[in-house]
């Protein structure tokens, strides 16, 4: 296999990288969950639902993602990313239209969550990171960081579009605005992605030479479950905090339109985190990085309890820095520990475990807040969950597959996955 410099990788892979970045900005990786805080109070008023009931929208959404992510991974492995992503953007636009015109009631609210997650699942990172990991090897971490910055662009866009649309025309206007954003993803996928990009590594002749373990082999390895549990605990806490950030600030007298600056801080923190961590992870053992950033997130989460707004702004930026690491490094570690041969399936299941945290966190935080009367106890609990997630990375061993996707010397593709640093 011929080694290729990082600059050449970015030159040759710029088109799929740009398309993946734009696709992640417009899909469901960030916009539905991270903008949902703006919908909490309007949905409570419109449908006479409790805070916990409304928060369960995120649970239904995430449970649907959990079911669909592994299936999308298999489809991307078989059909290619272009057709899967383009069709999914069209379905996502229709799902938002349904949410805009659906009749009132709890069932309709939850049905919209199923449709947005189900029809939009082809726009998840499992699709677009497949393009990036297949095209980048020397700079895989940095390339993933750049691509997943697209999620932040989408969150930032939604943080301005959604509250403005809600103020202008209520829920109907807000959902239609999201539908227009989804429609913009169709040409991005159709013309920006090329299925022939998959499997190219500047010297490998065919995708059949990809190395890696099967999903079954991956799931019997301890490292698979350590990664799964750690990302579950962190996602539970981070999603629970972010979803309830707007109502938590509202209880302190801060209007929803004023909280846009918090999501800007969150996005900027994530942007810096993704690029810095993406650059560093190509040079430093990834679990050490995750231990540090998850610990930082746990400390920053404490400041959200009753700190002045200025400290809250800084804490949200630090939390964003840590959030910037999670999805990027799921992709990086999936390739590093389990290889690329069955990347779609393995990543899909790991992402499902990660998404389970999103299903549990928001309603749990909402329920605890309703029981205790404020957000102090749930936010302290989120701090503990982040600290536990950080501690698990102490137990994780070395990468099994190096970033060039070659099996370690003297080992077969069915090894344990804990002896080689990629």
Helix, strand, coil share of the chain (percent; to 5): 75, 0, 20
**Confidence bin at 307 (pLDDT 50/70/90):** confident
Q: Residue range 133-140: average pLDDT?
A: 78
CA-to-CA distance for 21 and 43, rounded, in angstroms?
A: 31
Measured CA distances, 159 to 27, 33, 167, 262, 380 (Å) = 15, 11, 13, 9, 26
Measured CA distances, 222 to 229, 352, 405 (Å) = 11, 17, 21
Q: What pLDDT does residue 256 have?
A: 65
> Which segment of 109-113, 236-240, 278-282, 414-418 scores lowest on mean pLDDT?
414-418
* Count of domains for the chain: 1
Measured CA distances, 337 to 71, 138, 189, 230 (Å) = 21, 16, 29, 15
Token pair for 347? 């990543």
> Which segment of 58-72, 149-163, 187-201, 208-222 scores lowest on mean pLDDT?
187-201
Task: With CA atoms as reference, report the closest residue to 241 among 47, 57, 29, 55.
Answer: 55
Containing domain of residue 375, as a range? 9-199+207-395
Residue 414 lies in a domain: no
Q: Residue range 95-123: average pLDDT?
A: 91
Token pair for 59? 């649970």
- Residue range 332-343, pLDDT digits in tens: 888 778 877 777
Residue 407 lies in a domain: no
Q: What pLDDT does residue 286 have?
A: 78
Residue 410 lies in a domain: no
What CATH number does the domain containing 316 carry? Answer: 1.20.1250.20
Q: What pLDDT does residue 6 have?
A: 67
Q: Residue range 24-36: average pLDDT?
A: 88
| Average pLDDT score over the chain | 80
């Amino acid at each position: 296999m011929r080694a290729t410099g990082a600059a050449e990788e970015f030159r040759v892979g710029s088109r799929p990288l740009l398309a993946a970045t734009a696709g992640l900005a417009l899909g469901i990786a960030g916009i539905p969950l991270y903008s949902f805080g703006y919908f909490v109070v309007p949905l409570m008023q419109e449908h006479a639902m409790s805070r916990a009931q409304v928060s369960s929208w995120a649970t239904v959404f995430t449970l649907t993602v959990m079911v669909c992510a592994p299936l999308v991974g298999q489809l991307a492995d078989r059909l290619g990313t272009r057709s899967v992503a383009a069709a999914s953007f069209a379905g996502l636009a229709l799902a938002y239209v349904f949410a805009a015109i659906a009749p009132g009631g709890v069932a309709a609210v939850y049905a919209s969550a199923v449709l947005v997650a189900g029809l939009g699942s082809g726009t998840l990172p499992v699709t677009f990171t497949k393009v990036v990991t297949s095209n980048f090897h020397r700079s895989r971490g940095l390339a993933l960081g750049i691509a997943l910055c697209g999620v932040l662009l989408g969150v930032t866009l939604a943080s301005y579009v959604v509250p403005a649309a809600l103020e202008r025309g209520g829920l109907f206007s807000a959902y239609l605005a999201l539908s227009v954003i989804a429609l913009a993803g169709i040409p991005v996928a159709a013309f920006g992605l090329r299925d022939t990009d998959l499997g190219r590594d500047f010297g490998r002749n065919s995708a059949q030479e990809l190395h890696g373990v099967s999903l079954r082999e991956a799931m019997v390895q301890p490292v698979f479950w350590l990664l799964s549990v750690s990302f579950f605990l962190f996602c539970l806490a981070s999603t629970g905090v972010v979803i309830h950030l707007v109502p938590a600030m509202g209880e302190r007298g801060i209007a929803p339109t004023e909280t846009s600056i918090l999501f800007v801080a969150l996005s900027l923190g994530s942007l810096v985190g993704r690029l810095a961590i993406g650059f560093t992870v190509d040079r430093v053992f990834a679990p050490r990085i995750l231990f540090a950033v998850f610990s930082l997130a746990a400390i920053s989460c404490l400041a959200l309890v009753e700190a002045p707004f200025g400290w809250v702004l800084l804490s949200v930026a630090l939390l964003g820095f840590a959030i910037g690491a999670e999805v990027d490094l799921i992709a990086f570690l999936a390739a590093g520990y389990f290889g690329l041969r069955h990347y779609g399936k393995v990543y899909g299941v790991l992402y499902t475990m990660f998404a389970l945290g999103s299903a549990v966190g928001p309603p749990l935080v909402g329920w605890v807040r309703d029981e205790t009367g404020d957000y102090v106890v749930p936010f302290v609990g989120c701090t503990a969950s982040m600290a536990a997630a950080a501690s698990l990375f102490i137990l994780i061993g070395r990468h099994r597959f190096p970033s060039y996707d070659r099996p370690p010397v003297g080992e077969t593709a069915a090894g344990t996955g804990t002896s080689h640093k990629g």
